[in-house]
Amino acid sequence: MASAGGPRCPAGTKSCSVPAPTTTCPSTQGFNGAGTGTGPTSLCIRLAHAFDYPRQVRINTRLRSTSRIPLLQAVKTSVAVALGWILSQLLLDTEQLPVFAAIAALLVVQPNINQTLGRAVERSLGVIGGVIIAYGVGVAFGQSSWVVLLAIVFCIMLAWALRLAPSSASQIPISAMLLLTIGTATAEYARDRIVETIIGAAAALLVNALIVPPVLLRPAHAAVIRLAYEIADTLDRIVDALRFPQKASQIEEMMIKVRLLRPMLAKADQALKQAEESLTLNPRHAVNRRLLDIDEELFARLTSLVARAIGMTRSLRDHYDHSLHLEPTVLAITVELSRAAHDLRLLAEQVDHPGVQQVSLPQEPPTLTAPLIIATPHPQHWILIGSLMEDLRRVREEIKGE
């Protein structure tokens, strides 16, 4: 039995659930005219929502990343910073610490040489622009607090007006701020800071070029080979669906699986672009260029095969019939599809092992010219059969490179 003042339990029960306490809003007569405190515009409800709002906010931030940069890149960044620091102290006769050289080396080192060169140019131009602006502002207006603030704001708006890249856009105000706060507005000081930045960027570029420049051929090669085998598996699934009666759930499962070819194609394309970029300005370019060309040639064929595989699966899903496997022409098409899947796997194996002796594809008559005999299909099947025949012809042309 509930305690006095609490909710009453039904007769014959020892315990019952107690509802969560609720807040009753007082009457808000004079605020919204409701007089009951239950209206949607009640001041009480609005205040309750306002106090509950912070609990609904989730700050999307993480102190640690799910993955870390390669150890080699961290080592190269450290070496570049140390080299830029030492060279600046040796080449510049100044008592100032070479902070600009360290910052440039720290920010310029990228995963490959091409990106490092681009970042070096962006940072150097950003520092030159920021130093020139800071020097002019310091000579004209001094180095008071409000002058530094106005210079930073001016640099930000100038970078926005010129549509500069993010790295250059952030480097201009940072350089201007550092020059006005920790330096002196003299021509010699501004010149030394520019030279420092160039030394740091050059050190980063040198270190990244000499210490094991990365070549991203392996991820690209693996992505292309996986795509080729998945297309062959898709052709085999189409063969099974044509030879044996399928349930509706099995046809839908085929459609779901074939749609995964699009993300795989995009992933392989992105991996090839990264491999291409990793070879740009790379000393090992000549050794690895041939391997990348082989992968790109296969990928060009697979791009068309992905569209054909998806189209064949969609046609099968839209026009499927349980008596389809009884058509003589369908049986002949399945034989040719099996050969196409087999030849595609052979082609992938040749690309996967370019050093072994090339295995020529089986010498077979061209598909759909002879000896394939097409009997008149059932009226419900001729659209699907015609579509499959045209797709099959193009699949064979892509695999054979015709």
Supply the CATH number for residue 390's domain: 1.20.58
193 and 224 fall within a common domain: no
- Residue 91: name the closest of 221, 192, 202, 223 by CA: 192
Q: How far apart are the first and last CA of the chain?
A: 87
Average pLDDT for 382-402: 77
Looking at residue 354, its pLDDT comes to 62
> Are 298 and 370 in the same domain?
yes
Q: Give yes or no: residues 327 and 374 share one domain.
A: yes
Percent of the chain with pLDDT over 70: 74
Q: How far apart are CA 318 and CA 311, in angstroms?
A: 11
What was the pLDDT predicted at 49?
A: 53
**Residues 193, 250: one domain?**
no
| Residue after which a domain boundary falls, among 156, 176, 210 | 210
pLDDT beyond 80 at 325: no
Total structural domains within the chain: 2
222 and 206 inside one domain: no
pLDDT in tens, 215-245: 888 999 999 999 999 999 999 999 988 888 8
Contacts for 49 with CB less than 8 Å, ≥ 6 apart: none
Q: Is residue 398 pLDDT above 70, yes or no?
A: yes
Sign of CA dihedral 375, 381, 387, 388: negative
Q: Same structural domain for residues 298 and 186?
A: no
Q: Rounded to two decimals, what is the model's pTM?
A: 0.63
DSSP 150-178: HHHHHHHHHHHHHT--HHHHHHHHHHHHH
Question: Range of 312's domain?
Answer: 217-400
**What's the whole-number mean pLDDT along residues 203-212?**
83
Which of 149, 180, 210 lies at the terminal end of a domain, its last residue? 210
Same domain, 243 and 127: no
Q: Tell me which of 273 and 286 has the higher pLDDT.
A: 273
The answer for 163, left when phi > 0, alpha when psi is -120 to 50, beta otherwise, is left
Q: Does residue 379 share a domain with residue 312?
A: yes
Is the same domain home to 290 and 162? no
Whole-number Å distance between alpha carbons of 109 and 81: 9
Question: How confident is the model over 109-119, as a mean pLDDT?
Answer: 81
Helices 261-279, 285-318: axis angle to 10 degrees equals: 170
Domain check: are 242 and 391 in the same one? Answer: yes
Asked if 206 and 247 sit in the same domain, the reply is no
Q: Write down the pLDDT at residue 377.
A: 58
pLDDT digits (tens, 9 = 90+) for 275-288: 888 887 777 777 77
Q: Please, which pLDDT band fits residue 383 given cuts at 50, 70 and 90?
A: low
In terms of domains, do 373 and 388 share one? yes
